[in-house]
A and B are shown apart, each in its own frame.
Chain A
Amino acid sequence: MKPVFNLRNVVVALVVAGLILLPVYSALTGKVFILTMFTRIIILALAAASLNLIMGYGGMMSFGHAAYLGIGGYAVGILAFEGIGSGFIQWPVALLASALFALVIGALSLRTRGVYFIMITLAFAQMAYYVASALSRYGADDGLTIYKRSSFGGLIDLSDRTQFYYVCLACLLGGVYLIWRIVNSRFGLVVQGVRSNEQRMQAVGFHANRYRLVCFVISGTICGLAGALLANNTDFVSPAVMYWTRSGDLMVMVILGGMGTLFGPVIGAIVFLVLEELLSQVTEYWALIMGPLLLLIVLFARGGIMGLLGRFSRG
């Protein structure tokens, strides 16, 4: 048995407690800005967590994950534009559309491995980007403004900052819990087995690619939810959400936090986006520092932040 009170778990518990109490802090100090900023962070953390499911546990290096952010977002945006404002319709459609997209591109992409897989997922995401840029009815390149957030009858009001924050946080924690259950299920163990030795799993009698594909679709669906949330958060959706640098950002968050760890991507997203915010307050040229920082992390901090914490707690 590993001790429960190691440094990693304490940090994770503190982060979760911090996220839960954040609206209280924001209300007490009157800093609205920090609440909106963290709403965005939480949404992108959900996207990073979903990417981690295939990258960290499944060994599938998708470089096109931002496509689902766009698909989920456009599902909400287009339905709102056409006059269907109910979240009970918008959100399931967003999930379904993402799942369908993941099913199609997954079935094709999973025929390849390694760098080819990285590139083909990138190519499909770029295709989605170009399709969105051509939707002239829905704003094309300029994007689509969403005038009314998804409505859920009288249950919750997404226009209320605090309520929306907690909805996002619930989605994030639910998503991470789901990923935890998946990873520790028989299905998840097979997927991880395929990651470490595909041939052996095939020989034992598992259809490796079927397991991979299902995992890929689950991941895309969760990210589609993040897309629906993101569109509600910004009241806007545009092709830029799907641009390949966005997929790169998500990958950075996962690696920064620690690939293949449950809460790593969440911590990675928080650190990456807070760092971006802080650096951009100091200098307009924040990427001048961020870029080399990434290089240094890759060179010297393998396993990301979770890896570092693990190393400290082992002494």
Chain B
Amino acid sequence: MLVVEQLLNGLQFGLLLFLLAAGLTLVFGIMDFVNLAHGSLYMMGAYFAATFVAWTGNFILGAVMALGATLLLGIVLEYVALRHLYGRDHLDHVLATFGLILFFNDAVRLIWGPAGLALPLPAWLTVPVQILPGVYYPAYRLSIIVVALLVAALLYVVVMRTRIGMLIRAGASNREMIGALGINIKLLFTLVFGLGAALAGLAGLMQAPILTVQIGMGENILILAFVIIVIGGIGSIRGAFMAAIFVGMIDTLGRAFLPDLLRKVLSSTAASTAAPAISSMLVYLLMAVVLVVRPEGLFPAAKR
């Protein structure tokens, strides 16, 4: 029954990655902006959650407050600095947001100290739930899956079925045109960036109880999120969803089962040293293969 558990773990990790990648791909698809600091927003979400939960003593309330705080932070960041970079070279984006990563990491170190924080779960989320006869799964991980699926569905409805979503899609396919039609494009961009920040914050605060809240926690996962949007096709939410699940599964299952598989062909010491490296590399290998075969990603967004 280990297989079921690991499959669920893969799904949960994939959905979490999707939340992160969705914001990234929205911001990229609509504003044509490469945001390396997206991982910092993920980290800030986790730190906010750890702080607010400790303050209020209530997990849900603290999480909601952290979500609001990350949203606000994203909007401020966009308003103060990043909106001046739209239309500039991608390299400028990379550099400016690289500077933001440095800033956020040290700001966190200054405010919360270099040691990590823990975000304890309330008792009702720690019980294992029976999902199949004889198969138990932690309630918290299950609730991550549920919340992330709900958010993904909500995102789909908002983007595909509402007026604001229509504007977002229109902005992605032709920015000048919707500006010319009298839509306040600056406001739209700020909102989209805030939405992306909130999604990153949500991913961060949900992951926080599983891992420790620490400086640099956003960096590795950010690169994974980039891998996902590149595999899925930049600007495509559907592609990001598929690729996120795929990458989550590969990463989790690789880590779980590769050591045993390798042990069958290699000596056990060689296997136990090679396995972690190979499973870390699998995702990047996948991306390299996808880019070589389909340089635009698996589900490229419509051409401008």
Which residues of chain A have a CB within 8 Å of any CB of chain B?
Answer: 55, 61, 63, 108-109, 111-116, 118-120, 122-124, 126-127, 130-131, 133-134, 136, 140, 244-245, 248, 251-252, 255, 259, 285-288, 290-295, 297-299
Contacts and interface: CB of A to CB of B under 8 A. Distances in A.
A133 B281 CA distance: 11
Interface string B81-99: 1001100101110111011
B281 A290 contact: no
B288 A288 contact: no
Contacts of B277: 130-131, 133-134
B186 interface: no
Nearest to B32: A115
B103 A108 contact: no
A127 to B, nearest CB: 5
Contacts of A140: 273
A112 B295 CA distance: 6
Contact of B103 (A259, A288, A299): A288
Given A115-B234, A120-B287, A299 B96 contact: yes
Interface of B: 28, 34, 81, 84-85, 88, 90-92, 94-96, 98-107, 109-110, 219, 223, 226-227, 230, 234, 273-274, 276-278, 280-281, 284-285, 287-288, 291-292, 295-297
The B contact surface, by secondary structure, is helix
Given A115-B34, A122-B223, A127-B281, A251 B288 contact: no
A304 to B, nearest CB: 10
Contacts of B95: 251-252, 255, 294, 297-298
A237 to B, nearest CB: 17
Contacts of A108: 288, 291-292
B284 to A, nearest CB: 4
A118 B227 CA distance: 11
13 contacts: A115-B234, A116-B291, A123-B288, A124-B284, A245-B219, A248-B94, A252-B99, A285-B107, A291-B100, A292-B103, A294-B96, A298-B85, A299-B96
A260 B91 CA distance: 13
A292 B110 CA distance: 16
Given A287-B106, A291-B103, A115 B284 contact: no
Contacts of A120: 230, 287-288, 291
Given A109-B291, A285-B107, 4 more contacts: A108-B292, A120-B230, A295-B81, A295-B100
A12 B91 CA distance: 25
A61 B91 contact: yes
A294 B37 CA distance: 13
B295 to A, nearest CB: 5
Contacts of B34: 115, 118
A61 B284 contact: no
B96 to A, nearest CB: 4
Contacts of B291: 108-109, 111-112, 116, 120
Contacts of A292: 99, 103
Contacts of B104: 291
Contact of A123 (B28, B94, B107, B227): B227
Contacts of A112: 291, 295
A119 B230 contact: yes
Contacts of B285: 127
